[in-house]
Amino acid sequence: MSETQQIAKLGMPKWGLSMTEGTVVQWLVEEGADLSSGDEVVEVESEKINNAVETPASGVLRRRVAKEGEVLPVGGLLGVIAPADVPDSEVDAFVEEFQETFDPAEAAEAGGPEPETVEVGGRRIQYLRMGEGGVPLVLIPGFGGDINIFVFNQEALSEDRAVYALDMPGHGGSEKDVGEGDLDFFVGVVEGFLDEMGVEKAHLAGHSMGGAIAGAFALAHPERVTSLVLLASAGLGEEINADYIEGFIAANRRKEMKNVLQLLFADPDLVTRQLVNDQLQYKRKDGVDEALRAVADKMFPDGKQAGVSDLSGTEVPILAVWGREDAIVPAKHSENLPEHAKVEILEGKGHMVQMEAAGPTNRLIQGFLAGSA
């Protein structure tokens, strides 16, 4: 292998369908630092929240090309990673060639998959598919969430399988009719979606209320579930932060929405203006308030969870990932899982653990799925 081939680009990632650029917030390591693949190198502000960019290869951080505060297009050069014995001249030549040939417009046009829709039970359901082959993985968001809550996860998890992220009825780009709005209704939606996609058996991963849906589906249709991944899952105990549920339904101004969204993260500063604006835009769609109210009344009556499932009898492999600082659904609910479940509690993270700790969460899920196929 030539020296040039040993040089790896640390690039501005594309987190989300509409992301075209990101801001360098803070370098987390100095030039000359030894890195292992997956180490967090630089913090970037995206449309949704700040997140750390991980190194794609082991080596030495030879150049910090982008400066803190600089705005780079998707695909732009953040830094350069190479073994210590690669001459500086090779690294400099790599940077120079990249800067001369990189076309931001071309990188933006390359884009990625776009959301699609399918009719399930007479309702239009929006979904995003990435990857091919393997036992498919279906990602199910929670109350008020949509496919964008998996913005840091779906691509990484689709390296060796097809991964579908769904907008549940009443959410995202799906139809706002939520039927009875109870757990049985949402389980039926997942069943119908799998049927429409021709998927006989899948891994299910659910966040928050999506975890309750995934768990209930596994109880109702164990023959169709290869494994369960529960992310800060509802459905395992009665406790839930009712102030969040009611606050999200009521919020129609920036300050109100920001205060509510900050409950989701251990670090409230992660909530960006764009994230607040996106949620307000969703809330202003016709039928959303009625849909959220109907779901909350059935799923969280009197400020408690109604759809509590006993998973003790299921033999489906289970991975539960929680943030220790979860202010919505307490991490102690993981104690209600069956003994064979693998439980990982991540310190210093909140309810949106798959966003706050995307890299560690992705690696936990990848390792789990590899052993459950």
pLDDT digits (tens, 9 = 90+) for 129-168: 999 999 999 999 999 999 999 999 998 899 899 999 999 9
Name the CATH topology of 4-110.
OB fold (Dihydrolipoamide Acetyltransferase, E2P) (2.40.50)
- What Rg do the C-alpha atoms of the chain give, in angstroms? 21
The pLDDT mean for the chain works out to: 92
Span(s) in the chain for CATH 3.40.50.1820: 116-370
Q: Which tens digit of pLDDT belongs to each residue from 171-224?
A: 999 999 999 999 999 999 999 999 999 999 999 999 999 999 999 999 999 999
Rounded Cα–Cα distance for residues 226 and 314 (Å): 12
Span(s) in the chain for CATH 2.40.50.100: 4-110
Q: Which tens digit of pLDDT belongs to each residue from 58-81?
A: 999 999 999 999 999 989 999 999
Rounded Cα–Cα distance for residues 293 and 246 (Å): 9
Q: Which two tokens stand for residue 191?
A: 């069943």
CATH number of 116-370: 3.40.50.1820
CA 354, 359, 360, 363 dihedral sign is positive
| pLDDT at 3 exceeding the cut of 60 | no
